[in-house]
Amino acid sequence: MELYLFYVFAALALVSALVIIFTKNVLYAAFALVLTLLCIAAVYVYAMAPFIAVIQIIVYIGGVLVLMIFGMMLTNRLSNKSLLTEHHYIPQGLVLTTALFVLIYKALSGVNFSGLSWMKEGFAPAEDNIQQIGVYLMSDYILPFEVAAVLLLSALIGALVLSQRKERYP
């Protein structure tokens, strides 16, 4: 049951990702991305990382995608027409990505994961490891955590400065 639900979500993620490729409408692409990210959040849950899944939904769907939709609006000429995008380099891109996928598939098929020692000794993590993450963030990962905070702040300021209308920097 669990496996089939995983397949459903994975398939949904892939299909909606393909929709991003096929559609020309940027807004449709954004909504398809929302679906993809949601499905990926579900996949995280199946990978026993519910906290990450929640963060995924909050940050991506609540933040990044809203940002993107604002960006779309800011880069549109506010007409009745919807924002469309053109395609190019289709043959080259298709050939290269397909080739990469085939190669990765071949590489993976040559690996026997269950035969690896660290996998056999692998532990089954708890269903709820939010506390463990909190402890780690406040202890071992306190420096990256603070740096990430500073990074976010500076990104905020940077985005503000960059998107100012006034031509400060010619």
Partner 1 sequence: MIPIEHFVLLSAALLCIGLLIVIIKKNAIVVLMGIELILNASNINLVAFARYDPSIQGQLFTLFVIIVAAAEAAVALAIVVRVYSYFKSSDLDRIKELKG
Partner 2 sequence: MENSMNHLQDIPFTPLAYMAMAVLLLPLLSFVVLAILPQRWKRPAIALGILFSAINVLLGSYLFSQIWEAEAVHARTQWFSLSLLDKEGPTFTAGILLGNLSVLMVMVVTVVAFLVHLFSLAYMASDKGIKRYYAFLGLFTFAMLGIVLSDNLMLIFCFWELVGLSSYLLIGFWYQKDTAVAAGKKAFLANRIGDLGFLMGLMIFWAYFGTLDLEVLHAFQKEGNWPTGELWLTVAGIGIFFGAVGKSAQFPLQVWLPDAMEGPTPVSALIHAATMVAAGVFLLARVFLLLEVDVLTFIAYTGAITAFMGAIAALYQQDIKKVLAFSTISQLGYMVMGMGVGAYGASLFHLLTHAAFKACLFLSAGAIIHVLHGLEKKLGEDGIYIDPQDMRSMGGLRRYLPTVFITYILSAFALIGLPLFSGFLSKDALLTGAALWGMEQGGAAYLVPLLAFITVALTAYYMGRQLLLVFFGTSRMAPDSDKVAAVWQQSQPLPWTMKLPLWVLALGSTAFVFSLNPVDATHSWVLQGLYATLNSANPLSIGYKQQMSIVAQGHHYHTFISLISVGLAIIGLYLSYRRYGAKKNPSKGQLVEGERAAPFLAKLSLNNWYLDTIYDKVFVRTVLFKSKTLQNFEVRVLDRFIDIFAVSQVVLAHAVSIFDRWVVDGGVNVTAYAVGLVGKWSRSIQGGKVQSYFLWVLMGVVLIVLFFLF
Could you list the residues that contact partner 2 (CB under 8 A)?
Answer: 88-89, 92-93, 96-97, 99-100, 103-104, 106-107
Do 30 and 69 contact (CB within 8 A), yes or no? yes
* Number of residues this chain uses to bind partner 1 (CB under 8 A): 83
Residue 133 contact partner, candidates partner 1, partner 2, none, CB within 5 to 8 A by sort of partner? partner 1
Residue numbers 60-99 binding partner 1 by CB under 8 A = 60, 63-64, 67-68, 70-72, 74-75, 83, 85-90, 92-94, 96-98
Count of other CB atoms within 10 angstroms of residue 45:
19
- The site partner of 94 among partner 1, partner 2, none (C-beta below 5 to 8 Å per kind) is partner 1
Q: Which of 156, 112, 150, 133 is nearest to 51 (CA)?
A: 133
Determine, following the binding rule CB under 8 A, whether residue 42 of this chain makes contact with partner 1: no
Q: What, of partner 2, partner 1, none, does residue 106 touch, CB below 5 to 8 Å by kind? A: partner 2
The set of residues, in sequence order, having a beta carbon less than 8 Å from that of 163 and lying 6+ positions away, is 74
Tokens 């991305």 map to which residue? 33
Question: Which residues from 137-166 bind partner 1, rule CB under 8 A?
Answer: 137, 141, 144, 148, 151-152, 154-156, 158-163, 165
Closest CA to 71 of 18, 20, 30, 23: 30
Shorter beta-carbon distance to partner 1: residue 80 or 167: 167
Structural contact between residues 9 and 38, judged by C-beta atoms closer than 8 angstroms: no
Cα–Cα distance measured from residue 33 to residue 41, given in angstroms and rounded to the nearest whole number: 12
47 vs 84, which CB is nearer to partner 2?
Answer: 84
Contact call for residue 54 and partner 1 (CB under 8 A): no
